[in-house]
């Protein structure tokens, strides 16, 4: 009785959590219509939502190994897309013969020019003197701003920029340096490299910066005039870090110390690197998937899946009676569990992923059929319904476990070696199969043990008698 109660409580908690994740109000995909509006909490892939795919060659210097630079290119593009709010975009390496390219897929953008501007625009990284720090929910105004001429254009000297991690912390920065003969800026183009390391002289970790020869001279001038003051490093108007200048720095390299964790040091160095693409990108191909076409395809698949689900549910009720109805409940339970997990984990749903969901309908029903045949055997032997249910689940446990485990392992292998939307199939297959095992062995058992008196025992015992004649 205690185990039964635990199974019931776990089943209720799981389905409530899934419902919470699936129906939690979200501003994502609010433009979806038709069947897709019910999937507003799930991120949709390029093949469903529509969008743009661009593939680029890298313009490499002679002798440069593309394998050494592709990860940095992907990192830079990933940061740019995240900064622009396209967190569901996918940036991948594509190997074609002896060529290595980078592919960018952006759901929701069907205008190629807009996508190209987003990828091609340089995320500006620059250094600036920190004048003051304020805490505010909104951006403070700069009163009586000053102006300087940079590259023949008049620019505002001061601005407020937000901390990259704290939405309420604003830095008033002096964007241009006014030392020397004329104002100048110090941008990411002057930074050759940035990497994280352990601070062997003191505790903690550090970020090493290396500058170009021109940048080295500028940095020496800057640090010589800002000793004891804070110097912010800013990417896309977000302050990455704002260390204090301890001394005049010469030699073309610098260290940012006082960082507490290696993860923080790695993140800072990655963000500084992300400000500049290490190579020029040359567009190789482009493709646009219209949202209308994608919506038509997915609505057809969803309707076909729902029709198949309805047919299967009717079949189960006809052949298994009350147990068939329980199998239908388990099927709906697993479907909601899968959708809730997709919504809660921000996984991207693709067309192959939808196929994976429909496939799990079959695995869920298969599991219940195996269990029910075991229960029917126990009933034919004259066992009471509750005992038959318990024996049926116990005897079918390892058969279901082994069958589902092999499917999950196949899904893991597919996910590891596959790329693109095929991974979506592997994800939904793995989640759906694990959910199927849970609903078969826990949810179905909880319901049937509580309602075993509703099973038509005479039907199976009568069949056994007729077979024995």
pLDDT at 127: 92
- Residue 263 to residues 195, 260, 266, 270, 305: CA-CA distances in angstroms? 12, 9, 5, 10, 44
What would the pLDDT profile of 15-32 be if each residue is shown by its tens digit? Answer: 999 888 888 766 555 555
* pLDDT of residue 165 exceeding 90: no
pLDDT at 88: 65
pLDDT at 159: 93
Q: How confident is the model at residue 36 (pLDDT cuts 50, 70, 90)?
A: low
Helix, strand, or coil (residue 19): helix
* pLDDT of residue 460 exceeding 80: no
pLDDT at 421: 64
What would the pLDDT profile of 395-414 be if each residue is shown by its tens digit? Answer: 999 988 998 899 899 989 88
CA dihedral 305, 306, 307, 312 (to 10 degrees): 90
Higher pLDDT, 288 or 330: 330
* pLDDT of residue 83 exceeding 70: no
Give φ, ψ of 29 to 5 degrees: 55, 30
pLDDT at 135: 92
List Cβ neighbours of 29 (8 Å cut-off, separation of 6 or more): 36, 39, 40, 41, 42, 43, 44, 49
pLDDT at 153: 82
* pLDDT of residue 217 exceeding 60: yes
pLDDT at 452: 86
Q: What average pLDDT score do residues 306-328 get?
A: 88
Q: What average pLDDT score do residues 216-237 get?
A: 90
* pLDDT of residue 14 exceeding 60: yes
pLDDT at 391: 92
* pLDDT of residue 84 exceeding 60: no
pLDDT at 110: 65
pLDDT at 333: 92
pLDDT at 357: 83
Give φ, ψ of 209 to 5 degrees: -115, 145
Residue identified by tokens 């290595």 is 100
Q: How confident is the model at residue 233 (pLDDT cuts 50, 70, 90)?
A: very high
Rounded to whole angstroms, how far apart are CA atoms 304 and 301?
5
pLDDT at 28: 56
Tell me, rounded to whole angstroms, the distance of Cα 460 from its chain centroid. 49
pLDDT at 119: 67
Q: Report DSSP letters for 235-261, one per residue.
A: ETTEEEE-PBP-S---SSEEEEEEE--
Pick from 224, 466, 459: nearest CA to 323: 459
Q: How confident is the model at residue 191 (pLDDT cuts 50, 70, 90)?
A: confident
Q: What average pLDDT score do residues 362-387 get?
A: 88
Rounded to whole angstroms, how far apart are CA atoms 16 and 11?
9
What would the pLDDT profile of 40-69 be if each residue is shown by its tens digit? Answer: 677 777 777 777 888 888 887 777 788 878
Higher pLDDT, 254 or 288: 254
What would the pLDDT profile of 422-434 be if each residue is shown by its tens digit? Answer: 777 888 889 889 9
Q: How confident is the model at residue 128 (pLDDT cuts 50, 70, 90)?
A: very high
* pLDDT of residue 10 exceeding 70: yes
What would the pLDDT profile of 192-209 be if each residue is shown by its tens digit? Answer: 888 888 888 877 888 889
What would the pLDDT profile of 131-143 be if each residue is shown by its tens digit? Answer: 999 999 889 998 8
Mean pLDDT of the chain: 82
Higher pLDDT, 296 or 378: 378
pLDDT at 172: 94
Pull the structure tokens for residue 395.
């005897």
* pLDDT of residue 174 exceeding 90: yes
pLDDT at 276: 64
Q: What is the percentage of the chain residues whose pLDDT exceeds 70?
A: 84
């Amino acid at each position: 009785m205690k185990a039964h109660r635990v199974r019931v409580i776990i089943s209720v908690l799981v389905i409530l959590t899934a419902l919470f994740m699936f129906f939690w109000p979200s501003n994502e995909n609010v433009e979806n219509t038709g069947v897709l509006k019910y999937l507003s909490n799930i991120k949709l892939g390029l093949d469903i939502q529509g969008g743009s795919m661009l593939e680029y060659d890298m313009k490499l210097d002679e002798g440069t190994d593309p394998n050494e630079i592709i990860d940095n290119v992907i990192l830079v593009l990933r940061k740019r897309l995240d900064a622009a709010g396209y967190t569901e975009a996918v940036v991948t390496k594509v190997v074609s013969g002896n060529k290595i390219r980078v592919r960018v897929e952006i759901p929701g953008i069907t205008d190629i020019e807009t996508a190209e501007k987003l990828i091609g625009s340089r995320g500006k990284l620059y250094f600036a003197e920190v004048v003051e720090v304020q805490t505010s929910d909104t951006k403070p105004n700069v009163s009586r701003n000053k102006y300087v001429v940079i590259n023949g254009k008049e620019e505002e000297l001061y601005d407020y920029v937000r901390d990259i991690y704290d939405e309420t912390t604003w830095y008033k920065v002096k964007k241009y340096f006014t030392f020397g003969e004329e104002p100048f800026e110090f941008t990411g183009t002057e930074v050759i490299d940035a990497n994280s390391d352990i601070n062997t002289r003191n505790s903690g970790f550090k970020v090493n910066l290396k500058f170009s020869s021109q940048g080295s001279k500028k940095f020496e001038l800057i640090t010589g005039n800002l000793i004891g003051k804070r110097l912010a490093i800013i990417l896309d108007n977000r302050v990455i870090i704002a260390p204090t200048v301890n001394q005049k720095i010469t030699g073309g390299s610098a260290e940012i110390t006082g960082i507490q964790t290696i993860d923080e040091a790695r993140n800072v160095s990655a963000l500084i690197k992300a400000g500049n693409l290490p190579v020029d990108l040359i567009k190789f191909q482009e493709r646009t998937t219209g949202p209308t076409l994608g919506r038509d395809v997915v609505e057809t698949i969803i309707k076909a899946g729902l029709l198949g689900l309805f047919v299967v549910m009717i079949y189960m009720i006809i052949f298994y009676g009350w147990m068939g109805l329980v199998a239908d409940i388990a099927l709906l339970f697993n479907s909601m569990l899968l959708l809730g997990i997709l919504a809660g984990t921000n996984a991207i749903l693709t067309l192959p992923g939808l196929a994976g969901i429909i496939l799990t309908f079959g695995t869920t029903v298969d599991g219940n059929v195996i269990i029910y045949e075991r229960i029917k055997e126990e009933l034919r032997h004259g066992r009471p319904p509750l005992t038959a249910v318990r024996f049926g689940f116990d005897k079918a446990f390892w058969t279901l476990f082994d069958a589902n485990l092999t499917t999950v392992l196949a899904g893991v292998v597919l996910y590891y070696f596959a790329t693109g939307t095929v991974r979506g199939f592997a994800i939904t297959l793995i989640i759906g199969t694990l959910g199927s095992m849970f609903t078969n062995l826990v949810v179905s058992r909880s319901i049937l043990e509580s309602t075993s008196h509703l099973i038509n025992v005479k039907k199976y015992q009568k069949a056994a008698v007729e077979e024995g004649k």
